[in-house]
């Protein structure tokens, strides 16, 4: 019999935040959402920003509603950060990764350190949203801000600091920055020196599961895997070597666990990324725009006065003919908010494909394009690792989308295991339970989830001509 434990997980997504209270006793886990709140960016001083004061007030409300618990931990999206002055005061609201300040920064940066050297030093896919390029934008556009800054805290560490006063840098969130040496587990001096960035900003990375402070009520503050993707992977209900994972939310992160990073030129050119996982392994993965395509399309139709539920959109997609038109989900055309359905039509028109006209046709195009991009990413992973994946575990909110899961199984030819739905929060919780000694290690937690969580299996059934569709899709890329 294990000692009962209660832990509080704060899980932040791109549009909302949640406080999840978990009770663990006799190897059984129960969870309850005690608080949910919106996460809406604000525009201030010409930049799109996270409304940190509002979010922090909701964190405190979540703590109040949770009552008594043993520990808490935070996970958020990657790359974004807050800057503190020498007195520990937040200098400004953290800037959102979708802000336009980093436009052109990648090209300028690569003149100082070429892409092969930068990738070999960090293993991170080179993207304009990465923390490195955000810092370079500040260095160029607001040098006085960088002069005032004394400490950089990534978003989960910033929330923890606001509650307990401890300045910490957790390693999984640090590995999204394009500045971490994955092989040594420390900040890359080569990168900092090449770009003239002050080392004083960066705290030494700490392992996931480190206790970094406590609240007034005695609850421990645990630096879980701060990057939500790594929390989701921590809850992967499998340890078999032939399984890949797809953390499916606003972004899709498709990857596998490795013992060492892949830092080759070919890996860089394929757009693959290496991140540190909660268990110390490398999560080798591909960043793909995910449910954002569906979420933003739904928001655009709502702005036009047409309010569809997600079930409505799935039903309309199912009613349309299969495999007519495709988009590359990761084309920059689809990154900004706005008229995403119109951009789908524009892409198809420019690439000489039938233009989807109805809501159902646009949704069918998006669904099938995501499935095809997942197949493409899986083939790249298999090529670079020399492994053959037989199972794809879909984790997170995307598991509720049965059509996407079915199309992914049929398109990839892999068995798809969908679940847990609450993978990110569960990973956060498991890491805390390991830290408290209630679980032996993460593998024990994964085995527990495999036995207790409701998982849905989709066996591949390729009725449509996916191979020809895939060949057409690859030509688009």
Q: Following DSSP, what letter does each residue of 344-376 receive, concatenated? A: HHHHHHHTTSPPP-SHHHHHHHHHHHHHHHHHH
**Per-residue confidence band for 2, with pLDDT thresholds at 50, 70 and 90:** low
What average pLDDT does the segment 173-198 reach? 97
Q: What is the pLDDT of residue 62?
A: 98
Residue 14 clears pLDDT 90, i.e. is over it: no
What average pLDDT does the segment 203-225 reach? 97
Percent of the residues in the chain that have a pLDDT greater than 70, as a whole number: 99
> Does residue 254 contact residue 248 with C-beta atoms inside 8 Å?
no
- Name the nearest CA neighbour of 206 among 231, 230, 223, 229: 223
Q: Which of 99, 157, 228, 330 is catalytic?
A: 228
> What's the chain's average pLDDT?
96
Residue 384 tokens read as 């670079």
Q: What is the pLDDT of residue 22?
A: 98
> Does residue 453 contact residue 237 with C-beta atoms inside 8 Å?
yes
The more confidently predicted of residues 145 and 2 is 145
Torsion, CA 400, CA 402, CA 403, CA 406, rounded to 10: 130
Element (H, E) at 161: helix 155-164
Percent of the residues in the chain that have a pLDDT greater than 90, as a whole number: 94
Residue 1 clears pLDDT 60, i.e. is over it: no
> Does residue 221 contact residue 72 with C-beta atoms inside 8 Å?
yes
Element (H, E) at 44: strand 42-44
Q: What is the pLDDT of residue 239?
A: 65
Q: Nearest 5 degrees, angle CA 448-CA 451-CA 452?
A: 85
Q: How far is CA 428 from CA 2, 221, 291, 398, in A?
A: 19, 12, 22, 18
What average pLDDT does the segment 451-474 reach? 91
What average pLDDT does the segment 7-27 reach? 94
- Name the nearest CA neighbour of 384 among 245, 236, 274, 290: 274
Tell whether omega for the bond before 420 is within 30 degrees of 0, i.e. cis.
yes
Residues 103, 281: Cα–Cα separation, whole Å: 32
> Does residue 300 contact residue 310 with C-beta atoms inside 8 Å?
no
Query: Which alpha helices (H) appear in 386-441, and where do they start and end?
Result: 402-412, 423-435
Residue 168 clears pLDDT 90, i.e. is over it: yes
Q: List pLDDT tens digits, range 222-270.
A: 999 999 999 999 999 976 778 999 999 888 999 999 999 999 999 999 9
The answer to whether residue 181 is catalytic is: no
């Amino acid at each position: 019999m294990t000692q009962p434990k209660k832990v509080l997980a704060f899980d932040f997504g791109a549009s909302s935040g949640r406080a999840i209270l978990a009770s663990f006793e006799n190897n059984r886990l129960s969870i309850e959402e005690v608080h949910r709140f919106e996460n809406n960016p604000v525009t201030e001083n010409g930049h799109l920003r996270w409304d940190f004061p509002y979010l922090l007030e909701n964190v405190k409300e979540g703590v109040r509603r949770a009552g008594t618990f043993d520990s808490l931990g935070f996970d958020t999206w990657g790359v974004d950060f807050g800057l503190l002055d020498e007195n520990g005061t937040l200098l400004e609201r953290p800037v959102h990764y979708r802000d336009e300040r980093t436009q052109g920064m990648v090209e300028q940066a690569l003149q100082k350190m070429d892409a092969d050297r930068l990738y070999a030093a960090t293993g991170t896919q080179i993207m304009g949203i990465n923390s490195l390029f955000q810092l370079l934008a500040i260095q160029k556009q607001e040098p006085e801000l960088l002069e005032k800054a004394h400490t950089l805290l990534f978003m989960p560490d910033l929330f923890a600091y606001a509650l307990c006063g401890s300045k910490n840098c957790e390693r999984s969130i640090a590995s999204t920055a394009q500045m971490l040496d994955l092989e040594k587990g420390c900040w890359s001096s080569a990168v900092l020196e090449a770009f003239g960035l002050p080392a004083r900003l960066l705290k030494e990375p700490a392992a996931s599961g480190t206790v970094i402070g406590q609240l007034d009520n005695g609850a421990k503050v645990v630096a879980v895997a701060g990057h939500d993707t790594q929390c989701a992977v921590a809850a992967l209900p499998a340890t078999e070597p032939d399984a890949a994972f797809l953390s499916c939310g606003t972004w899709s992160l498709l990857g596998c666990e490795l013992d060492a990073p892949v830092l080759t030129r070919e890996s860089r050119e394929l757009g693959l990324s290496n991140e540190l996982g909660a268990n110390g392994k490398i999560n080798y993965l591909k960043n793909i725009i995910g449910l954002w395509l569906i979420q933003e399309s739904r928001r655009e139709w709502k702005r036009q006065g047409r309010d569809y539920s997600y079930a409505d959109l799935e039903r309309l997609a199912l009613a349309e003919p299969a495999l007519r038109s495709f988009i590359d989900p990761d084309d920059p055309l689809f990154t900004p908010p706005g008229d995403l359905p119109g951009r789908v039509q524009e892409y198809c028109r420019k690439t000489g494909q039938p233009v989807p006209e109805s809501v159902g046709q646009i949704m069918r195009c998006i669904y099938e394009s995501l499935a095809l991009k997942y197949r493409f990413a899986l083939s790249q992973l298999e090529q670079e690792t020399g492994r053959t994946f037989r199972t794809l575990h879909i984790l997170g909110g995307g598991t509720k989308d049965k059509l996407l899961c079915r199309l992914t199984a049929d398109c990839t030819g892999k068995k798809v295991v969908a679940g847990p739905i609450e993978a990110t929060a569960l990973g956060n919780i498991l890491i805390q339970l390991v830290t408290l000694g209630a679980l032996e290690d993460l593998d024990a937690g994964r085995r527990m989830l495999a036995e207790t969580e409701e998982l849905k299996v989709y066996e591949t059934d390729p009725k449509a001509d996916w191979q020809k569709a895939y060949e057409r899709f690859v030509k688009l890329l």
